[in-house]
A and B are shown apart, each in its own frame.
Chain A
Amino acid sequence: MIKQMMKQHLKTTWTHIRRAPYQALAATLIMVLTFFVATIFVLTAAGSQAILNWFETRPQVTAFFEDKVTMEQVDILRAKLAQTGKIKEAKYVSKEEALAIYREQNKNDPLLLEMVTANILPASLEVSTTNISYLGEIAQILRQESGVEEVIFQEDVVRSLHEWTNVLRKVGVGLIATLGGVSLLIILVIIGMKVALRREEIEILQLLGGTNWYIRAPFIFEGIFYGVVGAILAWGISYLLLLYSTPFLVGFLAGIPILPVPFLFMLALLGAEILVGALIGTLGSLIAVRRYLK
């Protein structure tokens, strides 16, 4: 009986949609817009978080040694740093290892490989801290050491990325909430108009003994339809756009390995968007129908 009722309601829902195609198009498009913006923001936020994570796993302070520095001095320095309890790792990179890294980085440019030997590259100590706020302190210790020629660290980059990610999240949540609210209102208005247009039909159904749920169901299914179709279309468009721009983004991110976006992540995003779309559709149509069936 439930299966038969569902079939009946779905048929009525489809008739409602088919008979007012422009209203259906307007409702679907606004949902597409909402979910498109939402998808782009989620991808951007996830991307910047991944970039941040990548930066945090990189050596955050690098101290380059003068040629005269011995391994014993390096070991003393490592022990001194370990005593602070603020470092995660301190990795020594010898001149030979530095050359190997240099060669790997420039393997496609033979001109840059010519004339470069291990002697002209400095040995270094790559230090990562347990918290990014310790970077300045560790850099200061390294600078004061004799035999350390230069100290570089990425505090600014990481800090800026942190700030950007936070701002992006806040703006994204605000924009998605606003668009979600607008979508809800549009669904409410469109379903409300349809309910008003079908006032006589609703009255007949009530007089024949139709329950409120029997009358509400096709309108609620219609709201869900707009939400779900909008979410799927927006996800599809965003994913196509992402796949299309992946080669450009890979070049732009220059070695930061966050692309391609895993398909499972995209699938989870689709699932979440379908759920939210159905929720917006249900809520909008429920409010619209309740107003009339009071």
Chain B
Amino acid sequence: MIKFENVSKKFGEVATLDKVNFELKPGEFVFIIGPSGAGKTTLVKLILKDYLPTAGTIKIGRINLEEIPKRKIPDYRRKIGVVFQDFKLLPDRTVFENIALALRIFGEKETEIIPKVTEVLGLVGLGERADFFPAQLSAGELQRTCLARAIIGSPEIVLADEPTGNLDLGTARQIVKLLKKINEMGKTIIMTTHNFEIVNQMKERVIELDKGKLISDQKKGKYHFK
């Protein structure tokens, strides 16, 4: 489903990713781990086509990302759900409106937006917070809103860039459980993190990066950080 072939990304002379190779199957849950500066966010941005690789090819299904013309990038991005560490919610819109925004961008009919958002709000446990503004929510609730927005368009892939970075361990576990629940619905989840407790607990596939290089790719249940 997602294939990185010798992918490198350089900013000037500094390589943030260096000849990275891996392949993900549909419906997989994979953690991308590594210290700060390892290249985790670069990898996410490459999948989002926010960055272009300096070398190598990235394929999503049969599509080579390099071949997607600029005007088609929005269409491509609509097929990917994204969760950000800093939530990226619009502060002047309610939880409902933030989630509905993704559907409005897709041009979904207003009559279909209400039931879809209500359903997703129920899934992430925010039914009671629909009319709250981001400033009135806890960090966990903000991340759940972000998660709801990411999955509202039924994407095949969900990218979660350090979704637990701003959360305490208990809340982080809740978010990862939610991601697992979404994964069980058949979605491919790519989650970057440096929260090893969660990685150990989930026992999913783990790709480890360091200084832009892929240093290990452990299959489901094989990785354990000591």
CB distance from B64 to the nearest CB of A (A): 19
A204-B105 in contact (CB<8A)? no
A1-B105 in contact (CB<8A)? no
Q: Which residues of B contact A209 (CB under 8 A)?
A: 74-78, 102, 105-106, 153
Number of interface residues of A (CB under 8 A): 19
A1-B74 in contact (CB<8A)? no
Q: Which residues of B contact A212 (CB under 8 A)?
A: 71, 74
Which residues of chain B from 101 to 144 have any CB-CB distance to chain A below 8 Å in the complex? 101-102, 104-107, 109-110
- Cβ-based interface call for A214 (8 A): yes
Q: Which residues of A contact B106 (CB under 8 A)?
A: 209
Interface string of B72-87 (1 = CB under 8 A from A): 0011111000100000
A207-B48 in contact (CB<8A)? yes
B88-A200 in contact (CB<8A)? yes
Q: Which residue of A has the minimal Cβ distance to B87? A: A204
- Cβ-based interface call for A167 (8 A): no
Q: Which residues of B contact A19 (CB under 8 A)?
A: 92
Q: Which residues of A contact B104 (CB under 8 A)?
A: 8
Known: A5-B107, A8-B104. A207 touches B90 (CB 8 A): no
CB distance from A168 to the nearest CB of B (A): 49
Q: Which residues of B contact A203 (CB under 8 A)?
A: 88
CB distance from A21 to the nearest CB of B (A): 15
**Selected contact of A4 from candidates B78, B88, B109, CB within 8 Å:** B109
> What's the count of A-B pairs with C-beta under 8 Å?
48
- Complex CA–CA separation, A207 to B51 (angstroms): 12
A208-B101 in contact (CB<8A)? yes
Q: Which residues of B contact A15 (CB under 8 A)?
A: 92
Which residues of chain A from 4 to 24 have any CB-CB distance to chain B below 8 Å in the complex? 4-5, 8, 15, 19
A207-B50 in contact (CB<8A)? yes
Q: Which residues of A contact B110 (CB under 8 A)?
A: 4
A214-B77 in contact (CB<8A)? no
Q: Which residues of B contact A208 (CB under 8 A)?
A: 77-78, 82, 101-102, 105, 149
A201-B90 in contact (CB<8A)? yes
Most buried by B among A15, A203, A204: A204
B88-A214 in contact (CB<8A)? no
Most buried by A among B74, B75, B89: B74
B107-A207 in contact (CB<8A)? no
- Complex CA–CA separation, A201 to B88 (angstroms): 8
Interface string of A199-220 (1 = CB under 8 A from B): 0110111111111101000000
- Complex CA–CA separation, A42 to B88 (angstroms): 51
A211-B74 in contact (CB<8A)? yes
CB distance from B125 to the nearest CB of A (A): 22
Q: Which residue of B has the minimal Cβ distance to A15? A: B92
Which residues of chain A from 196 to 242 have any CB-CB distance to chain B below 8 Å in the complex? 200-201, 203-212, 214
**Selected contact of B105 from candidates A4, A200, A205, CB within 8 Å:** A205
Most buried by B among A8, A19, A209: A209
CB distance from B35 to the nearest CB of A (A): 25
**Selected contact of B77 from candidates A1, A200, A207, CB within 8 Å:** A207
CB distance from B114 to the nearest CB of A (A): 13
- Complex CA–CA separation, A210 to B102 (angstroms): 8
Q: Which residues of B contact A201 (CB under 8 A)?
A: 90
Report, nearest first, the 3 A-B pairs whose CB atoms are least far apart: A209-B78, A209-B77, A211-B74
Known pairs A206-B77, A207-B77, A208-B77. 7 more at Cβ < 8 A?
A: A4-B107, A15-B92, A203-B88, A206-B74, A207-B88, A208-B78, A211-B71
Can you spell out 14 A-B residue pairs with CB atoms less than 8 angstroms apart?
A4-B110, A201-B90, A204-B88, A204-B90, A205-B101, A207-B50, A208-B77, A208-B149, A209-B102, A209-B105, A210-B74, A210-B105, A211-B74, A212-B71
